[in-house]
Amino acid sequence: MGSSNTPARSTETLPPIRSPRLILRPFLPSDFEQVHAYSSDPEVVKFMQWGPNTEEQTRQFMETCFANQKEEPRLTYDFAVVMADTAEFVGSVSLRLGKKDSMIGDIGYCYSRQAWGKGYASEAAEAVIRFAFDHLGLQKVGATCDPLNFGSAKVLQKAGMKLEGFLRKHINMKGKWRDTLLFGCAKQDIEQNLAELNLCQRRLSPGEPKAQPLKEFEEVTVTHLTELFAGGSLDKISMKAGALISAHTHVLEESAFIISGRLQSGEDDKQKIYEQGSIVYTPGAVRQGPHLALTDVELLIMRNGPIGEFE
């Protein structure tokens, strides 16, 4: 697919999207039996707002897909996902734009149980995301996922997305209000997201990364361990006795575990002293500090969201 700086969303016939093992093509009337087989499977649609489908509901879905192919301008792209070598039907994936000239789209997908665990869903999702960026000129693609749908969460990450949000009781699923995870990927980030992908459990040792001095605060060093939610991080902070970190406010919440030493925090009559073993929790958008090390201090800092402003 060639790249474009402007969206190309006419009803012109699009060539199939190809990935190493798959072909993503428009739906055909002959796909009905395969589509109904998985859309009527209770286990497949466990985390969907719809289903299990009756035959009539599956027909209505396919009729909607055929109608979407004739939209002008095109706002919805529905693809049947088939094996490149055998043409075997394995599932479907869609890309939806909210409105005309939108630069943001959302993907959704559904696959037969026989296709699970083989990487087809993430391969097809990445192909559609790249189609959105390269062919349609979109800036960002998002997706939603039930927090307990671990397989889908892995699919989205392997396709180049990162977790960006958590919404409580946001979707009514078969009569029950459920939480929702929000995933997303901006065009400029997909290559880095894929390069940094690591879904394996791993040990994070404060002794392995190198401690870096904080130029803003004397006698304070930080050892970065890993990233956390929404640009946050898990860090080990070391403060020499007498070191001071000025008052500051972070965007989201932060928790600090006092590994060793004694730390004074706050000003005037609000000063508190935290000993080894203390956990200090600060909600987002709440001013904290200044922090003064009464002895040599080591902290484990768990901060969600980006670093805020220091005074």
Tens of pLDDT, residues 212-271: 888 788 899 999 998 899 889 999 999 999 999 999 999 999 999 999 999 999 988 889
Q: Looking at the chain, which residues constitute the CATH 3.40.630.30 domain(s)?
A: 17-195
Mean pLDDT of 189-207: 88
Tens of pLDDT, residues 280-295: 999 999 999 999 999 9
DSSP per residue, 108-144: EEEE-GGGTTTTHHHHHHHHHHHHHHHTS--SEEEEE
In terms of DSSP bridges, do strands 297-303 and 254-260 run parallel, antiparallel, or are they unpaired? antiparallel
Tens of pLDDT, residues 80-129: 999 999 999 999 999 999 888 899 999 999 999 999 999 999 999 999 99
CATH topology of domain 212-310: Jelly Rolls (2.60.120)
Alpha-carbon span 273 to 265, nearest angstrom: 6
Report whether pLDDT(1) > 50: no
* Three-state secondary-structure class, residue 51: coil
Joined tokens for residue 212: 């870096």
Q: Looking at the chain, which residues constitute the CATH 2.60.120.10 domain(s)?
A: 212-310
- Find the helix packing angle between 150-158 and 120-134, rounded to 10°: 40
Cβ proximity of 156 and 144 under 8 Å: no
Cβ proximity of 155 and 115 under 8 Å: no
As a whole-number percent, the residues of the chain with pLDDT over 70 amount to: 95
Specify the higher pLDDT residue, 7 or 16: 16
Report whether pLDDT(6) > 50: no
Joined tokens for residue 261: 């030493």
The chain-wide mean pLDDT, for the chain, equals 91
Tens of pLDDT, residues 40-80: 999 999 999 999 999 999 999 999 999 998 888 889 999 99
Domain 17-195: homologous superfamily in CATH: Gcn5-related N-acetyltransferase (GNAT) (3.40.630.30)
CA distances to 211, 219, 242 from 214, rounded to whole Å, are 10, 8, 15
